[in-house]
Structure 1
């Protein structure tokens, strides 16, 4: 038994095992300890010098924060080398871009790029795209073997990329002007002044001033009337209307000059409502007053014999806003009359030169239209075909006006083309619209009864499919003219988004050139697809197919076409400033096309100014925009030119012609545009020693006389005091 029984000592030792007793500690204390003991990637210089542990916070660690010392972190040599290498790669990309755009006559750029390629490993010359918001195609290697990434931004930036260069919230004037993009002729006029300043600094050997002085702020070059507040408080009867005779004159002014270009109101419904004004709803009273306001503005431009006081259109507009822009109206659910009223208000603001307000109001109208689904194809079987077509025309009226205002202000569109499936308007007059849905669809799509506009991934490919069908195959009438305007609006938006958006700065110059050529081909395709009666260039060639017919349509489409041409090629005018000697370069060719388009715009004008001819046959609501596009192109070309150039004389004659038209128009917007452009021409003529020997231009260059647009009076105005007989109020003697 003794052999089977273990010793007492050994048994006790085997049964008593050692167990580690954990230290009791709160979880917060554990977290604090682990946080204090974490290893920081690098310590600041102060902690290193004092040989204490650094907490690693930025901008100050705990020790420096408690002692009030400056906390400085020094990057390791490896990180500093990486930053310098990346900077060298960016500069090499910029040099490669400059070489592709401007050439390398002496080979110095190529020599520098070869040195960079030898010093930097090959795999570092093709860095991956670190920005997830930028498409991968933009980081591909360029022809020179260097990635064209951010280094090309400044090159594109100088021409067309939008940047905010002033505080737009500092005062009432800058807020009223608002943001003005590089696509606007207001910015182009400012570019003329900046170029003159640079030339003066170079010739006088003064130190260049890189800051933009107060006179070079965009608001200083805004010839529109946004800064002039005409919203007076009128004491009037909101329900009162003008006399039937005056009202009929105003309605005919609207129908004869505006309706075909802006068919937001069905003509038959408008005339029916006009004949029975006693039963109008508040929103239709607002619509009718907006029609009167637009007609009254036109009557003053053409100096109609029956026109009332020059401020009567403000009365009609105030009445319309009291009906259609009340707090209850804006907070209620949108409907079609509300959208129509807002569209007319935006058109009116554009016609009186308040383009910033017009852009805001048209955006609101488009939002309401999208809320009711006007931007997509209507497949409701219970809706008549004529009503569907009227809704289509409402959408495209808003669309075309917003694209025009986008070019005038340089601001982006709120409409995303890819999300729109509404078809283009039919080329049928109002009285020919049918209620047969199938028959109307067959007219819209001859090759198929139903269309699927969302079948393509291109933003406007399905619209361009209708372009391919050809406008020349449809009869020339008011609706085919409006359809041509809508198609031009699509192309204009593509020009703005391609050349004047933030996306331009991440594109390579070769891609921009390719897109520019594609847009140029689309413009040519649009012009060639027009019915022969709308061929505005036949007028210049002396082969007008049907003299006396469609004169107005041809001039309107011509202004649109050449305005889009100028918009497309305007960024290339900077090539003249940079002194490109290669006449075969892409930039030189595009600059020449830009100047030619401006000359073609001026050729629409007779040699002797006759404002009524322009108002009756041209886009009177935006004609100053069209003329200033041409004027600023001429002024920019002259500002980039040198004294003695033979082209200077030709450009001078064109500039004087258009400025003379601005002077003769006697409109507040035209008067401000005349003042600014004539003063610019005087400064350029002095620098280039151009001949301004006739009496009128001698006064300009001396600064003897300058016509200024006076700010309208403010305060409370009694409406009856500013109306003459026949305007619907007591006459003021």
Structure 2
């Protein structure tokens, strides 16, 4: 009985020791005083029942040192002047979760004297949120800075993204011109087949229906009037599709246009300054989110992150982040809005990770349930949607853990894929908060280790809970959902790298009196980090085929994924493969493979080209110190440079792309539109300054049953547009007088309600 009491006392002492790093300085002194009174008595009593063990007077180094001892180091400071010039402002502040900071640290360490690639050895301050603890951490930082004579490299000098490049908007573009139907269909398909399931910003079935209706009306010589915002959305979809097809090396002689033209049209149609001060609506959310995605796809990540903030502000203003219990809305309507929200959330998560900045979404304020496991076309089945809505009613982001049995049995479809994507994104955001936020410096290294272990467990629980056909760890004979599996695997590996990255440094040189168990944890976690990076290289075929990667992978951020892994491997190489003493030579082949992929991608991807140049330069600096043979890469690079003497890949976008003449116009391709070209005068009245397309007389309606009777809508729909309900207005046809223009688009139609309503009615029309 006495032995049991002693064990309990020892457990209480251990708990108090752990709590010391979480309390104020005054409370810490009280705990120390209490422990000083009882610890000896407990230790003496314990010796009567157990063999001698280390007492709590023996200090644990990992408890006494701040989390800044890890590879992230100073999470709560900015060590450069971001405001100094336009270039540094274009890059902006980059946080420690970004591979750009990792690359900066790697290049900085490589240039230090005596090959001090492991970074500084200390000192490091204590954990705690007291003023005294903060002052001691600041003093330790100043001492480290005094010991480091090297000049701080600017972050903007280590970025391979294109934010420093201009994206000038063409002022001479005709915003109402459109590509031929054939080109437009290719652009739309490129977007829908690769982007839509991961980021369902648009209601797919409805948008395709609108697209078909509009182009049909154009080919008939009577272009249906649509709001400029909708045309802006369409052109952004075209711009994204054009960027994708460019990477796929599609034959652009068919259209002769590039993504910059469509972006210019979208800007002219609805992306001027006025939209920032207008009251939010769904189309504003979609426009800004698509613009953010477009900027991401062309390598302007700082712009993308900023614009995404507008989209999320609009979404919060309309309440998309909370559970929708509006009794006048149907379940399919709610699900469409829900998927839009989670599409925004997923895009925000990627951007926050890339630039290392906080997400604008606070999960504590979010109660929106997870997406239903339904395919896109199944959303038209209201009965099925309602049934699953009731079954998964409590499935929100705040539930304790995935229901492994039920989740694994879910059918593979767009809904279950999005749900899985969202769940791993939630884990990633936890990683950003628990390991990369500024407040982490107040934690001890032991607490960081505990957080790391817990996050790894959550990630593995997510993996086990994946639906069988989406689980990338299970061998599959079918190619069905191959793309979804690869995407989820990519997100899984990226999240694992983020979780384990803080341990990838020479912690054995930084923490005094570290326990053996703590040191072993650091080594094993570092091995997991390097192993995850090697897994990225293993995902890539040995025979380089960039179209394969773009077709089934995250083409919009693939350079981020490759560089995240490559820099981890280069870091381990700079440490002399200390975490892999038995097979350190296996790291170099993975590095070479990733560099070769970047080299091939650089042919038509400037972001990849810049990343390749930086990575090869770093490897060249490391190779002599480590006696690594990279002569094959040097030879290949020389051959590549010779082939590109007349075409500099680093200038192909800034000089060639934006300065290109656009020989194609919809007006010249009159045959595609029944002999009628698409002229600006068809859409815009120079006298009134308003779109003349709104002057087309309305047609006589035809009575058919209303699909959304529960919303109180009427039962008459326009005969030429059977999918439209008059309660939402008609976005294509109106009888308003163009000579007396209205002042608000809402007087023409309620596009928001239409976008939700007509999708479900199409199956009934």
Which TM-score applies when normalising by structure 1? 0.73
Partner of 2:462: 526
Quote the Cα distance in structure 2 between the aligned partners of 1:280 and 1:496: 42
C-alpha contact (below 8 Å) 1:185/1:408 kept by paired residues: yes
Q: Deviations over 1:65-87 (max 9, x none)?
A: xxxxxxxxxxxxxxxxxxxxxxx
The structure number with the bigger radius of gyration is 1
Partner of 1:282: 228
Aligned in 2, Cα 1:393/1:234: closer, same or farther, shift over 3 Å? same
Alignment map for 1:395-406 (pairs within 5 Å)? 395-406=341-352
Quote the Cα distance in structure 2 between the aligned partners of 1:551 and 1:498: 32
Of residues 470, 489, 509 in structure 2, which corresponds to 1:558? Answer: 489
Alignment map for 1:86-97 (pairs within 5 Å)? none
How many residue pairs get aligned? The number is 581
Quote the Cα distance in structure 2 between the aligned partners of 1:356 and 1:604: 28
Secondary structure of 1:662 counterpart: helix
C-alpha contact (below 8 Å) 1:308/1:723 kept by paired residues: no
Quote the Cα distance in structure 2 between the aligned partners of 1:196 and 1:528: 40
Secondary structure of 1:223 counterpart: coil
Of residues 597, 604, 622 in structure 1, which corresponds to 2:539? Answer: 604
C-alpha contact (below 8 Å) 1:485/1:557 kept by paired residues: yes
Quote the Cα distance in structure 1 between the aligned partners of 2:413 and 2:59: 55
Of residues 566, 571, 576 in structure 2, which corresponds to 1:636? Answer: 571
Tell me, yes or no, if structure 1 residue 225 matches structure 2 residue 162. Answer: yes
Partner of 1:614: 549
C-alpha contact (below 8 Å) 1:242/1:728 kept by paired residues: no
Quote the Cα distance in structure 2 between the aligned partners of 1:440 and 1:313: 37
Of residues 479, 495, 500 in structure 2, which corresponds to 1:569? Answer: 500
Aligned in 2, Cα 1:183/1:126: closer, same or farther, shift over 3 Å? farther
> How far apart are 1:699 and its partner, in Å?
5.1
C-alpha contact (below 8 Å) 1:191/1:636 kept by paired residues: no
Alignment map for 1:130-529 (pairs within 5 Å)? 152=66, 154-156=68-70, 158-159=72-73, 161-198=75-112, 200=114, 210=148, 213=151, 216-277=153-214, 278-306=224-252, 312-433=258-379, 436=382, 440=385, 442-446=387-391, 451=394, 460-462=397-399, 464-465=400-401, 467-468=403-404, 470-529=406-465
Secondary structure of 2:614 counterpart: helix
Structure 1's unaligned 5+ residue stretches are: 1-95, 101-120, 128-140, 454-459, 539-543
Quote the Cα distance in structure 1 between the aligned partners of 2:310 and 2:326: 25
Secondary structure of 1:235 counterpart: coil
C-alpha contact (below 8 Å) 2:233/2:290 kept by paired residues: yes
> How far apart are 1:196 and its partner, in Å?
1.4
C-alpha contact (below 8 Å) 2:70/2:502 kept by paired residues: no
Quote the Cα distance in structure 1 between the aligned partners of 2:151 and 2:386: 58
> How far apart are 1:647 and its partner, in Å?
3.5
Quote the Cα distance in structure 1 between the aligned partners of 2:405 and 2:58: 42
Q: Deviations over 1:507-556 (max 9, x none)?
A: 12222222211111111111111122222233xxxxx2233222111111
Aligned in 2, Cα 1:177/1:711: closer, same or farther, shift over 3 Å? farther
Aligned in 2, Cα 1:283/1:461: closer, same or farther, shift over 3 Å? same
> How far apart are 1:709 and its partner, in Å?
1.8
Aligned in 2, Cα 1:379/1:212: closer, same or farther, shift over 3 Å? farther
Secondary structure of 2:326 counterpart: coil
Tell me, yes or no, if structure 1 residue 664 matches structure 2 residue 609. Answer: no
CA RMSD of aligned residues (A): 3.6
Aligned in 2, Cα 1:282/1:570: closer, same or farther, shift over 3 Å? same
Q: Deviations over 1:28-55 (max 9, x none)?
A: xxxxxxxxxxxxxxxxxxxxxxxxxxxx
Q: Deviations over 1:635-694 (max 9, x none)?
A: 000011179955442111100000100010121000000000011111111111111232
Quote the Cα distance in structure 2 between the aligned partners of 1:190 and 1:553: 33
Q: Deviations over 1:599-657 (max 9, x none)?
A: 11111101121101100111000000100011000000001117995544211110000
> How far apart are 1:575 and its partner, in Å?
3.3
Quote the Cα distance in structure 1 between the aligned partners of 2:249 and 2:562: 21
Quote the Cα distance in structure 1 between the aligned partners of 2:194 and 2:669: 26
Quote the Cα distance in structure 2 between the aligned partners of 1:314 and 1:594: 38
Aligned in 2, Cα 1:680/1:369: closer, same or farther, shift over 3 Å? same
Which TM-score applies when normalising by structure 2? 0.70
Quote the Cα distance in structure 1 between the aligned partners of 2:546 and 2:268: 33
Quote the Cα distance in structure 1 between the aligned partners of 2:485 and 2:77: 37
> How far apart are 1:160 and its partner, in Å?
6.5
Quote the Cα distance in structure 1 between the aligned partners of 2:233 and 2:521: 49
Quote the Cα distance in structure 2 between the aligned partners of 1:648 and 1:485: 33
> How far apart are 1:155 and its partner, in Å?
2.4
C-alpha contact (below 8 Å) 1:385/1:436 kept by paired residues: yes
> How far apart are 1:145 and its partner, in Å?
7.1
Structure 2's unaligned 5+ residue stretches are: 1-16, 22-27, 35-54, 118-144, 215-223, 671-765
